Structure 1
Amino acid sequence: MPGYVIRRLNQAYAAAWLRYVGPDLTGPQFAVMLAIKLHPGVEQGSLAKAAALDRSTMVGVVKRLETRELIVRVQPPEDGRKRLLHLTDEGAELLDEVNSKARHLDTLLLDGMDPVAQASMWRRLNERADLWESLTDE
């Protein structure tokens, strides 16, 4: 039964995201751009874990963001195989706008929960996420 409840939460969250944050960035695109902002020049391979996305999803997200000129991939001269990711000025501006809206949505979603209850919920959800992810590790 946990899968059913989590699917309901995911569907409700996706609908709320569209209503309150808008269509400018999807959740995965937002996660990738936020991770790049926090770690400018991060390698694409390392970014998947930071953004909590699998590698195949990551490739598509990065391509779409690059096509929209929200991020750039830079090849360092010392290693032709690496691609380092950076936000463009336009990407940084959009991320700031979306981040503000996402924080407002977070406030709405957590309405009525005191800080202690929120901390407990986050701790328990992260414990479950770690466990569930470990079940899929090869």
Structure 2
Amino acid sequence: MKDLNDFPGHLIRRLQQIAVAVFHSEVEAAGFDITPVQFAALSRVGTHPGIDQATLAGLIAYDRTTIAGVVDRLVTKGFLSREISASDRRARVLHMTETGRAALERLTPAVEHAQTVMLSGLDEAETEDFLRLLKKATDAVNDLSRAPLRPAPKDR
């Protein structure tokens, strides 16, 4: 039998554990209590203002049934506002608040530094190769996910 450390799933899980720990360390040092999923949601609402929660879930590859909880926490923190869509009364559209913009501006350097720490064992060329291969592997099996990544609608 192969050694456990030769299974990509095991190594990916370990790297994910490390990535989350490093992320929390960096954002806490910046004065924030925010999760990686909350950061992803905040970032995507910043680049796609007025999106609905279901679209947001697709943009960050997060489960549609639990995205409301992520959004609730960001609304409670004062980072996002949520209102009923003018075009679909069942949908909730999201906008970043001024507090959210300021937080994202302060959070981004901490999150970028966390990425550097996570891959500190690789040189620049290895980092580029790793990211290229990781994206390729992820894209190839995206549709197997319970929460696949979905592109933004073209009309936004």
TM-score by length of 2: 0.78
What is the CA distance between 1:68 and its match in structure 2?
2.1
Q: Could you list the runs of 4 or more consecutive aligned residues of structure 1 that deviate by over 6 angstroms after TM superposition?
A: none
- The structure-2 alpha-carbon separation of the partners of 1:110 and 1:39, relative to structure 1 and needing over 3 Å to count, comes to same
What is the CA distance between 1:57 and its match in structure 2?
2.9
* Partner secondary structure for residue 21 of structure 1: helix
| Relative contact order, higher structure (CA 8 A, sep 6+) | 2
How far apart, CA to CA, are the structure 2 residues paired with 1:13 and 1:65? 21
Greater helix fraction, Structure 1 or Structure 2 = 1
How far apart, CA to CA, are the structure 2 residues paired with 1:34 and 1:123? 22
1:24-81 CA-partner distances (Å, limit 9, x unpaired): 2100000000000011111111111111211123121011111222111122334322
C-alpha contact (below 8 Å) 1:44/1:85 kept by paired residues? yes
Where does structure 1 lack aligned partners over 5 or more consecutive residues? Answer: none
The match for 1:40 is 49
How far apart, CA to CA, are the structure 2 residues paired with 1:52 and 1:43? 14
How far apart, CA to CA, are the structure 1 residues paired with 2:75 and 2:83? 11
Q: How does 1:63-82 map to 2 (within 5 A)?
A: 63-82=72-91
Percent identity of equivalent pairs:
34
- How many residues get paired? 137
Q: Which amino acid aligns with 1:13?
A: A
Give the counterpart of 1:102 among 111, 127, 132: 111
- The structure-2 alpha-carbon separation of the partners of 1:15 and 1:78, relative to structure 1 and needing over 3 Å to count, comes to closer
How far apart, CA to CA, are the structure 1 residues paired with 2:46 and 2:59? 11
Question: Over aligned residues, Cα RMSD in angstroms?
Answer: 2.0
How far apart, CA to CA, are the structure 1 residues paired with 2:9 and 2:87? 46
The match for 1:15 is 21
C-alpha contact (below 8 Å) 1:25/1:98 kept by paired residues? no
* Partner secondary structure for residue 66 of structure 2: helix
Give the counterpart of 1:2 among 3, 8, 13: 8
The match for 1:113 is 123
Give the counterpart of 2:66 among 48, 57, 60: 57
How far apart, CA to CA, are the structure 1 residues paired with 2:110 and 2:57? 24
